[in-house]
Amino acid sequence: MLIIAASAANRKHRPMRMGGGSSLFLESAVLVVLLGCCILPPSARAAVHYYDFVLKETNFTRLCSSKSMLTVNDSLPGPVIRVHKGDTVYVNVYNHGSYGVTIHWHGVKQPRNPWSDGPEYVTQCPIEPGSNFTYEVIFSKEEGTLWWHAHSDWTRAGVNGAIVVYPKEGTTYPFEEPDGEEVVVLGSWYKGDVNEEVEEDLESGSDTPRSDAYIINGQPGDFCECSKDFTHRWSVDYGKKYIIRLVSAVMNAEMFFAIGGHNFTVVGMDGAYIKPLVTSFVMIAPGQTMDILVTANQSLGQYYMATRQYDSVKPDVTDYDKVNATAILQYTGNYTDTSAPLFPDTLPIYYDYKSAINFMSHIRSLANEEYPVDVPRNITTFMYITASMGEVEFVKNSTTKTGLASSLNNVSWVNPSTDVLMAYYRNLSGYFTTDFPDWPGKFFNFTADDVSDDYELAVQGTRVKMLNYNEEVEIVFQGTNVMDASEDHPMHLHGYAFYVVGAGYGNFDNETDPKSYNLVDPPEVNTVSLPKKGWVAIRFRASNPGVWLWHCHLDRHYSWGMTTVFIVKNGGTPETSIKEPPPYMPPCKDSSLQLRKSDAASSVEWNKGDV
């Protein structure tokens, strides 16, 4: 196999316009890698791309107030990475900010390459200010839309962007080729310094900040103060067909999204095509991505693309971000239309649980000859995992306090001081334990309206689950109503996509519920919403060796410990084993949360690394 390496000298830079934003960024040269050209068919050719990501503080004014925030290349959302299926991208990240950061390539499976997956203290330590690190992002089966984001603290509020994966050169979409493309990134806006606020909240054990607005391609839109002049606009030509690459980079809420006057067709989700789904709105969870076809077939004019929170918490909890963020779809041409843009009357209201469930239940894989499914049928590892809100006890200034926490099977994740991957690869003991439980410690009516307080206390730990190579895994996630705090949890697995074979209300019944599983055309995704007071069943084959994080993609739940790690062992041959580490990994210098060894929750200390 011959790989041509790029030398800095022969890379030419060409400017490229981002689909969804206003700034320019540099995409370095594309080099073709010849993978044994004489034996493989031409379609097996993959390209290599280079990007430079410069992390730095950028000034923003939104909602009449100014702040500076870390971004990539000064843009919000950040640069779009565009590749064809099977390509490889090297992203050189330079940290010109003032704190350590890592970047994760959300939904990219990175076969055998956990080294470049990104989650802080799981596969690497932070890229410290003044240093840089090159990620090797290996695309394999993904096709459609994915995204990237910071995976340290809450930095991803400003450090995120879309990834567009086109069909392999010489192949095409399973639908008519669109005439144009629009990248739409939904996000959360905080007026303050969100990392600072979160750090204080975590230290005191209190609730985390609420966003001040939602944003579309960096802008909250016409209905927010000091925003109207900057609303994101997208021009379309009458009669043309477009593909919207929709990404939810929102921090802590699921969102509804719709376009005034236009129905559309969802054709892809999380980097895989689905059976075309015609709809007048979508519900999209943090972490999810969708490919949406829309035809510009309405009267020449302006139409709002609008998003608002889907709030699954409780009708009596009304303290959420109620902003209706908007962008404008405007037809080109000569017309005099002075009326306000049309707002989508199909955008469900905040607490419209039924619409959310209804939308989710209609997603199906293509499952045809060209895009087959491979659903595991001989399950060798079964796990039943409760996802709960709760509390943990921790010691601060020699007093025991309790603080908000969340947990999986009653274990609330704590980051080790050296990343799990390095500790595992180098066989270092003392950084994690391999006893993540397959079952909840206690069984009770998880979804009752009045769960007893006895179930609130979780234990802290860095407990991982070991899986043998090629194990066929089924996990049933069970939502709970502990603390009367049930809500949807968008569960995300790194390194894999999985099939969502079932979902339902209430407690999972292991006799009757599996009978309703869809093993024929279940959606294959990397993030799934565990419905409030319900369960969801997923399956995957553990064919990617490595250290892979699993977590709720609501950042407050992630910070509170609704997180764990799978270590998938090597399969015994070089092709089934973790790649060699790259020559340089960012060194670990301290950890933000250090695990103090102890079995009992009450004596676990929760320190800010200053001991």
Binding site residues, ligand C2O, CB under 6 A: 104, 106, 119, 149, 151, 287, 492, 494, 549, 551, 553
- Shortest spacing between CB 185 and ligand C2O, in angstroms: 13
Contacts made by residues 198-205, CB under 8 angstroms, sequence distance 24+: 198/153, 198/154, 198/559, 199/153, 202/403, 202/559, 202/560, 203/396, 203/608, 204/403, 205/391, 205/394, 205/401, 205/402, 205/403, 205/404
Q: Which does 539 bind (CB under 5 to 8 A by kind): ligand C2O, Cu ion, none?
A: none
- 551 touches which of Cu ion, ligand C2O, none (CB within 5 to 8 A by kind)? ligand C2O
Phi-psi region of 350 (alpha: psi -120 to 50; beta: other; left: phi over 0): alpha
Query: What is the smallest separation between the CB atom of 234 and ligand C2O, expressed in angstroms?
Result: 25
What span, in angstroms and rounded, lies between the C-alpha atoms of 375 and 367? 10
> With respect to ligand C2O, which residue has the nearer C-beta, 495 or 502?
495
Select from 12-20, 265-273, 531-539, 547-555 the region that touches Cu ion (CB under 5 A). Answer: 547-555
Question: 432, 464 in Cβ contact below 8 A?
Answer: yes
Judge contact between 451 and 481, C-beta under 8 A: yes
Strand partners, 325: 307
Per CB under 5 A, the list member of 82, 489, 494, 551 interacting with Cu ion is: 489
Residue 83 or 202 having the CB closest to Cu ion: 202
Q: For the CB of residue 122, give the shortest distance to ligand C2O in the complex, in Å.
A: 8
Q: Which residues share a beta bridge with 210?
A: none
Name the residue nearer to ligand C2O (CB basis): 202 or 367: 202
Q: Which of 214, 224, 150 is nearest to 185 (CA)?
A: 214
CA distance from start to end of the chain: 51
| Stretch of residues binding Cu ion (CB under 5 A), selected from 186-194, 207-215, 371-379, 549-557 | 549-557
Nearer to ligand C2O, 286 or 523 (CB): 286
Q: Which helix (H) or strand (E) holds 549?
A: strand 546-552
224 vs 285 by CB, closer to ligand C2O: 285
- Applying CB under 5 A, among 112, 262, 308, 557 the residue interacting with Cu ion is 557
Neighbours of 96 (CB within 10 A): 12
| Burial class of residue 183 (count of CB atoms within 10 Å of its CB; 0-12, 13-18, 19+) | buried
User: Among ligand C2O, Cu ion, none, what binds residue 492 when CB lies within 5 to 8 Å by partner kind?
Assistant: ligand C2O
Rounded Cα distance, 105 and 87, in Å:
14
CB of 506 to ligand C2O, least distance (A): 28
Determine the Cα–Cα distance for residues 388 and 373; give it in Å rounded to an integer: 32
List the one residue from 80, 224, 554, 604 that touches Cu ion (CB under 5 A). 554
Q: Which of ligand C2O, Cu ion, none does 62 bind, CB closer than 5 to 8 A by kind? A: none
Q: Which is nearer to ligand C2O, 49 or 494 (CB)?
A: 494
Evaluate whether 364 touches 431 at the Cβ level (below 8 Å). no
Binding-site size, Cu ion (CB under 5 A)? 4
Contacts 24+ apart (CB under 8 A), 20-23: 20/77, 20/80, 20/162, 20/182, 20/183, 20/184, 20/185, 20/217, 20/232, 20/245, 21/75, 21/76, 21/77, 21/183, 21/217, 21/218, 22/75, 23/73, 23/74, 23/75
Residue range at the interface with Cu ion (CB under 5 A); choices 141-149, 487-495, 496-504, 574-582: 487-495
When asked if residue 536 is in the footprint of Cu ion (CB under 5 A), the reply is: no
Shortest gap between Cβ of 551 and ligand C2O (angstroms)? 6
- The item of Cu ion, ligand C2O, none sharing an interface with residue 489, based on CB under 5 to 8 Å by kind, is Cu ion
The contacts of residue 477 (CB under 8 Å, 6+ apart) are 385, 386, 387, 489, 491, 530, 535, 536, 537, 538
Peptide bond just before 77 cis, omega within 30 deg:
yes
- Partner that binds at residue 149, options ligand C2O, Cu ion, none, CB closer than 5 to 8 Å by kind: ligand C2O
Within 304-363, the residues that bind Cu ion by CB under 5 A are none
CB of 201 to ligand C2O, least distance (A): 20
User: Of the listed pieces 21-29, 104-112, 211-219, 483-491, which binds Cu ion according to CB under 5 A?
Assistant: 483-491
Minimum distance from CB of 162 to ligand C2O (Å)?
13
Which residue, 224 or 290, has its beta carbon nearer to ligand C2O? 290
Among Cu ion, ligand C2O, none, what binds residue 45 when CB lies within 5 to 8 Å by partner kind?
A: none
Closer to ligand C2O by CB, 103 or 215: give it: 103
Which entry of ligand C2O, Cu ion, none binds 552, CB below 5 to 8 A by partner kind? Answer: Cu ion
Residue with CB nearest ligand C2O? 106
In the complex, the residues that contact Cu ion under the rule CB under 5 A are: 489, 552, 554, 557
